[in-house]
Each structure stands twice: as C-alpha cells, then as structure tokens.
Amino acid sequence: MSNLLRDFEVEAKNPSLEARRRWRSAVSVVKNPARRFRNIPDLDKRAENETKRHQIQEKLRVAFYVQKAALQFIGAAGRPEYKLTDEVKEAGFSVEPDELASMVRNHDTRGLANNGGVVALAKKVSVSDLNEGVKSSELPIREKIFGENRYAEKPPRSFLMFVWEALQDITLIILMVCAVVSIGVGVATEGFPKGMYDGTGILLSILLVVMVTAISDYKQSLQFIDLDREKKKIIVQVTRDGTRQEISIHDLVVGDVVHLSIGDQVPADGVFISGYNLEIDESSLSGESEPSHVNKQKPFLLAGTKVQNGSAKMLVTTVGMRTEWGKLMETLVDGGEDETPLQVKLNGVATIIGKIGLSFAVLTFLVLCVRFVLEKATAGSFTNWSSEDALTLLDYFAISVTIIVVAVPEGLPLAVTLSLAFAMKKLMSDRALVRHLAACETMGSATCICTDKTGTLTTNHMVVNKVYICDNVHERQESFQLKLPEEVQSILLQGIFQNTGSEVVKDKDGDTQILGSPTERAILEFGLLLGGDFGEQRKEHKILKIEPFNSDKKKMSVLIALPGGGARAFCKGASEIVLKMCENVVDSNGETVPLTEELIKNISDVIEGFASEALRTLCLVYKDLDEAPSGDLPDGGYTMVAVVGIKDPVRPGVREAVETCQAAGITVRMVTGDNISTAKAIAKECGIFTEGGLAIEGSQFRDLPPHEMRAIIPKIQVMARSLPLDKHTLVSNLRKIGEVVAVTGDGTNDAPALHEADIGLAMGIAGTEVAKENADVIIMDDNFKTIVKVARWGRAVYINIQKFVQFQLTVNVVALIINFVSACITGSAPLTAVQLLWVNMIMDTLGALALATEPPNEGLMKRPPIARTASFITKTMWRNIAGQSVYQLIVLGTLNFAGKSLLDLNGPDSTAVLNTVIFNSFVFCQVFNEVNSREIEKINVFTGMFNSWVFTGVMVVTVVFQVIIVEFLGAFASTVPLTWQHWLLSILIGSLSMIVAVILKCIPVESSRQHHDGYDLLPSGPSSSNSA
C-alpha cells in the first residue's frame, strides 16, 4: 500500500508547504469536507493571515526607525491632542488610554517628557508610589477604562453548529432526499401509515447518526478549548498593594509594576522604570533579529517581545487589543494546528478505500437495476411501469448510497484527532501540556531522552549543605555556626545579597519570602541564616552594574559603589571556572593571601569532594576597584571568599522511571551545566550512568572532530558543564544517526535545541516563556516521571488508532462484499439502508470512541519504540482483517443463501426473519470483533477492559440499541422480533469470532522477535512493503 500513499507523507515537525498542499490535493471521495477537515488548517487563509502579520510587522518597523526619529522634530502643534473624557476624569485618571497607547507604540520620548516622565505618568494613571503599585480594589475600574489584557478570540462553536456540520455529509443529504421521495411514493401506493415506514426509518437513522456524531465532535471541541486555555496561561510578577505577587497575564491592568527577567515575555505595552542591561528581542513583533537595548533614554517596551538579557521593572500603560501584539494575535486566531503524520496517512487510507467503496456501490446499483430490468423483460412487463417499480429502484439507489456511507471510512482521520484530544486531556491532568498535536504521536517513537538534571531528575528544593570558608569546611546541622571574622562576614553577606537576581520580600501576612530561582533561593536563605538583612544591605550600597547569570559564561557578576569611594565587584558561579579568575584567597585568619598552587589544589579537592557527594558547588569571590570600569566587569584578579555545596535531592520515583524507559528501548542521557563529578554521582543514583557508559564535559565534546563525535555519541550517558550549544549539537547529531530525540530545556538559550529536537519538552515551573514557546510539550511539574507518561500516552495513541483501523476495515470489507455478492446472485441486498446506517455508526463514531480512547497499559513500556519506517497497517493487522472477514463472509453468506433450510424457516415472514438474523449476527460479529481488536497480537483481550468505562459504555449501548431496533423498531428498520433461539444463534455466531481471533493469532506472519520480558515486539516492517 506504500506506493499508493506516497502523496500522504508529512514531517511530524515543521512540515513543508509543498507536502501539505500535495496531500490535500490527493484527497478525494470525501463525504463531508466540513467535518473531515475541521481541524486541518486552511493554507490559503493561513497565507492571508501571514500577509497581514507581515504588514503589521512592517508598520512597526517603520514606527521603530522612522516615526521614532521624526517625532523628535515634530513640535507640539504637530501632535494629536487627546481630550480627557468625563468618564476618565471621574475614574480618577489624568491621561487618555489612546494617548498612552500612541505614545508607547510610536516610541514618543517627547510625549513621555511632556507627561513628566515615568513617575509623573504613573501618577496620571493613579499610581502614587511605584514601590506600592496598584491597589487590588481598583482593578475593576482600571479594566473598565483601559480594557482587559485579553486578545480577540474566535468564539466557540455551539452544539447546533456541530449538528449542522454533521448534516453536510453528501451521502446523508442524498439519503434524506430518497427518504422524502420514498415517503411520498409509499403513502401514494401503500397508504398511510404503512407507506411512511421505510422513509421515516431512514430519516430517524440519519437523525441518530447526526446527533451521535455532533455530540462526539462537540465534546472533543470542548477538550481542545480547555487545552488552548491552558496554553495561554502565563504567570507574571507584579508589585501590588506594596507586595510582590504572581498573577495571570490576563489579570494585568494599566498601572501595574511588572518585574521582568531573562526569558520572560513582555506581557503588555509599558515604560521602563529601572533595571540593568535590559536587552529585548523584538523579532516576534517587528521581524528584526538584532536585540534592542532598553533604558531610561529608550524606555518603551512592547507586548509580545522577549527579554533576552538583563532585568527590569516596567509600568504597564496599554493592555489587550490596544497593543500591536493584540492586533498581531488576531491574525493567528484562524491559524489552526498543523496536521499530524497519522492524520495525513489515514486520510490517504480513507481515500483509497473510499474509491473502492464508491466503485462497489456503483456496481451494486447497476447489478440490482440490470437484474430488475431483466426480470421485468422476462415476465413480459417491460413496458408496464408502476409507482412500486419506482419505489424498488429508489430502494436500490438508497442501498447503494448507504454502501458509500459504510465504505468510505470518514472516521479514520477523525479518530486520530479524537484519540489525541483524549490523550492530551489525560496528560493535562497528569501535569503535561501538549502544545502541538504531532508531538503526542512522535513521543511514541522516541528512542532517546536528553534530560536536564536540576528540577527534572532532582526536586529543585535546594539548600546550602556545606560551605568552605577561611580554609575550613562547615556542614549544616540545624543552622551554620561559622564564627567568621567581622570583615569576612561582611564581605560574604555583601556578595550574597548584592550579587543576586532574586529578592527577599514580605508577603501579605508579613512572612519572609524569597523570590527567584532555586539556586538563588538557597544562597539567600544561607545569608539569612548567617544573620544578614537583605533590605539593609541593598540600602547601604548602590548597585552600579549587573551582569546576570549566563548559561554560556556560567557566572553572575555585580558592581557596587563603596561608601568611602571606589567600587567592589562580586562574582559567583561554577566553582572551577570562577576559581581560575582568582589571585587571592581569604585564609583561616581572615587575611587575604596569594592563591598558591598548593592552595588551588586544596580548594579543587574540596570542590571535587563536594561534587562527589552530589552537591552543586558555587564559588563566591570579590575584587576591590579604585573606580568603576566603563566596559565589562573584570575577568581576573579576584579574591576567593567561599565555596558553597548545595544539596538538591533526587526526586522520588526517578530511578524507577529511568528503568521504565530503558525497558522500553529509550536511552536516557543527562545534559547538565554542573560539575562532572556532581553529574556522575546524580546519574548513578538515577540509574542513568551505567557500566560501559561515557561521561564527558561539554568543552571536551565540542572540540571533537565530527567523525569522532559521531563515534562516541551512542555511548554518551552524561554530559557535564555543557553549554546550550552543546545540547543543540548533541541533539542534531543524534537525529542524524536515526534517533528520535526528546530533549528538555528551561532557559532562553535552550530554545534552539528544543526547536531542533523531534520533541521539545519545556519545564513549566523553571522554564522561561521563550523555552515554552519553542517547546512541543510543557512538563508542568518539571518531573521526569511526567515525561515517561507522555511517552506512554504517545505509544497508546498509535496502538489505539491501529486497533480502530483493524476493526473498521473488517466491517468495510464484510459490508461491501456481502451486499455486492448478494445483489449479484439474489437481486436484493440483505442489509437495508437503515441497518447499514446503524452499522456505520457502530464502526465509525462509536468504534472510535471505544477503541481510540483506551488508556495505556504497562505492556506498552515493555517493548521498543515504534520505528519511523514501521508499517502502520502491519502484516499482523492484515492477517486479522482477512481472517475475520473470511469467517464473517462464510457465516453470513451461508445464512443468506441457505439460511431458510438450515434454520427451518417457513411461512410468509421467513425472508424477513432470515434477513433479521443475518443483520443481528452481523452486528454481534462487530461487537465481539471490537473486543478482539483491543489486542492486535496478544490472545488475552480482556485485560483492563473494565478499566476503560468508555469502551464498556459503548459495548452496552450498542447491544441495548440492537435489541430495541430488532424487537421494537421493526416497521422502520425492516426487522421482525426474533425468538430466543435466534438471539442465541446470533450471539453464538458473533462470539465464535473470538475463537477465530485466537486461532489467527497463533499463525505467525512477522519474523519471530521477542523482548526479554516475554512481550512481543511492536511489528515494524520496511516502509516499502504493506506500509500505510
């Protein structure tokens, strides 16, 4: 089948426009395009929105480079005047919302100066003290005057819209016309109400199909709405009511004081208050790749841009749709989610089978018509046509159209969406947010996970456990009793409280709270334990310059002014890197002495000792300067004060999760910025670093020639002291050797690796907005165990779709052949239009619900990953489809042609009874085959069946409705009530399909391969044979 599906191949990540257009043009025989392609993006509309987006970006570029310069020369007369409205005055504000929006959008520094600068502007938006921020009681009036920080969203579709969409099915429309005509002709020939039964039965069946389809699609849409809402959740830090708080981006109001740090998205338009080295990436808004430096001279910040470096506080001036980002977001509303490889592949399968089904339907209609005409000619009544003859031909046409309904497997590609929506909803409750549908599929094929250490394998609850200072090692008991000389203690506390990107604040209850990264919190807590006061330290010294922590340099520096003149630089970071910057050290007497080779060796041994105990080590150093340097802070000549060892315990259950991955054929590699000894100790504890594995430092790895790098990559289990570029290189090379790579990341600099990997996994707690934006999945709890859950669900989605395809193709084959052969031989079809519509609902909507939403079982993680080149419809599945189809065709064919004699049926209703038995047996064959389909390879199909309430519910509903149709709706469904013996026979025929399934599963079709734990490996054939 692979040759037929050549046009239906797309990449899982960033598929090409050519591939996406190719498969769309190859799709044919679609019953309901509105429903089939509801979740597939409209490429023309997307291109139109892209053009709009570029126009907005061009306009902004003009604003940045032309208006900004021009405004400096425009006098007051050239500026638009904004008259203060009564509503704004009464609310207590002194500036119009449009004036604020225009000023920031156009980078109007003169307009800001005319308003008195940022402090005066804050007062105009009723913020009297920037250290206090807005008052919570003022939020409603601010939202009323200046608007909410929300962007235009496409309104959710109502249930009736889904009903209307389900009615767009061309085959159902034809059947409705046939039903209406049938009612008209039937009443005219057979009278009322008898003449209405056939047509009314078709209409009722269509109504049932439409309602069940609409309900299923509507529930699915609600799941996607929930997921979309979760994706848009961004937390920002603000000062409100005098305290630092975390709030949702949607709760932001004009006047809020927002705290920005590296990797944050600027949440609204605003004005710079204070900060250090603030660099803003405006490419998402203007298309410009060069970062923009923001300071008091260039104070404007625009929503949607990203903080590339530095930190700052900003005053929010414009929110929501008044910002340019809001207008840009409006163009993305109809962007749609890219189609997944499985969706595309199954669209191809549906197209091929649809063409076959259409051919059979036309042939069936022609055969029935020709036989009917020949019979009339033989009887000599060829020239005598009645309304009953017209009704018969109409019935033939309805049956043929219904064969198309059954034969075109419209539900195949939609089942993928249903399964992914279900998996994404479940993963959300498991603390994983899937941002891109295809990632859920791809995770089932992952062969390698490159994971960070801190926060993912460890708890991220850090404490300083040991400290080396004044030539002594001190271990934490309840607290630290260091007894340091006063001068040393003063310098140590200065280094801790000045050289930090975090803050010590009081919460609403007056309790001390440390805000910042876990490492920073551990260092600040250490300073507080030593009796330090964060607020006093900050008041005593003015900060002149900050160089924030950088994952490339692995250090952070700050420059402060000393009260008596001069300046002091502090630096902290990776111990062995910062130690190389030192020339002196504080000795046991608190004196500064030169750093000799012997002292360097002693300190290095201490660092190695800390690291071997799985402690993260940081070196704290300082340097006194006569005057502040104009450029970067010095890189040498420092005095070492202390080495701290920070304990970060391994998360409970991580070792078991790593073992689960290894049993599933997934290699786990640790990529960390930590010391190699710390990394190896943690990796051993987690079960990642094993005998024969390789631990390597990033510097050593990046210096290797390409051929040597390729040779050692399969052996690498730990990479320490790595830079983000090393992670990207590792991921890129792993993909080149055929691995399907998942990689974790939390920092801004991890974005390239997250983008390069097959599955990018960003951390929800420690991750920056830049990292999350480039990720495919966000791990909300930063836990490695959650990554394993994503892999398990990825495999479940793939297997569930395979189960559904096997089940549906079996029904397709049997329904097509039994009706066609019967039409050719007997001149009538045993299954009527109403009956076929019911069968279609069993195999399509209900079948997808039952099989495509089954939860994963433990066996899924005891077999290797699904190969990229694996056949989707495997030889095993073809064996099961063929075997079940042959069994059902033999049984139903025997009943159709010899049923009356075998069942000893006599009397005028014998044909009706036989057709009802055939219909009943056919339905029960599908019910039991649905149970068979729960396991493609294993004989035991009942394991965990009752854990899936959806599956159980569908089975019960199907059987109950079948009883109602047969026993009570005979007039509409062309059935008659059956005796208990006939019911028993129907159930027995259906249940025998389970014995057939056992026999079939004993027939080997794949090469004999078995996992060490006894589980059969996933079948994976070459893509050139039987692949789909």
At 799, list the tokens.
């297997």
d(CA 293, CA 308): 10
- Say if CB 210 and CB 167 are below 8 A apart: yes
Q: Dihedral (C-alpha) 68, 70, 76, 80: value to the nearest 10 degrees?
A: -70
Q: Which residue has the tokens 């005098």?
A: 242
Q: Amino acid identity, residue 25?
A: S
Is residue 507 classed as helix, strand or coil in its secondary structure? coil
Q: Dihedral (C-alpha) 925, 931, 932, 938: value to the nearest 10 degrees?
A: -170
d(CA 651, CA 788): 14
Cross-strand partners of 559: 545, 569
- Please indicate whether residue 904 is annotated as part of the active site: no
- Say if CB 870 and CB 1020 are below 8 A apart: yes
Helix or strand run (H / E) with residue 567: strand 567-574
Give, rounded to a whole angstrom, the gap between the first and last alpha carbons of the chain: 6
Q: Per 3-state DSSP, what percentage of the chain is helix, strand, and coil (rounded to 5)?
A: 55, 15, 30
Q: Amino acid identity, residue 623?
A: K
Please state the length of the chain: 1028
- Say if CB 488 and CB 586 are below 8 A apart: yes
Sequence-ordered list of residues with C-beta below 8 angstroms from that of 49, at least 6 positions apart, any chain: 331, 332, 334, 335
d(CA 166, CA 35): 7
State the catalytic residue, choosing from 108, 169, 264, 452. 452
Q: Which residue has the tokens 């409280």?
A: 497
At 1006, list the tokens.
């794949």
CA geometry: angle 286, 292, 296, nearest 5 deg: 125
d(CA 581, CA 638): 6
Query: How many CB atoms lie under 10 A from the CB of residue 761?
Result: 32
d(CA 596, CA 716): 36
Among the residues of 852-909, which ranges form H helices? 875-902
Phi-psi region of 219 (alpha: psi -120 to 50; beta: other; left: phi over 0): alpha
- Say if CB 558 and CB 547 are below 8 A apart: yes
Query: How many CB atoms lie under 10 A from the CB of residue 147?
Result: 19
If you ran DSSP here, which 8-state letter would residue 619 be given? E
Query: How many CB atoms lie under 10 A from the CB of residue 93?
Result: 23
Sequence-ordered list of residues with C-beta below 8 angstroms from that of 370, at least 6 positions apart, any chain: none
Strands 306-318, 257-260: pairing is: antiparallel
Separation in Å, CA 413 to CA 307, 341, 408, 611: 40, 10, 12, 52
Q: Amino acid identity, residue 571?
A: C
d(CA 1021, CA 456): 35
At 481, list the tokens.
């009793």
Query: How many CB atoms lie under 10 A from the CB of residue 273?
Result: 18
Sequence-ordered list of residues with C-beta below 8 angstroms from that of 587, at least 6 positions apart, any chain: 470, 471, 593
* Strands of 626-758, DSSP E: 638-647, 667-671, 694-697, 716-720, 741-745
Task: Give 679's Cβ-side CA count (13 Å radius).
Answer: 23
Q: Amino acid identity, residue 527?
A: G
Catalytic residues: 452
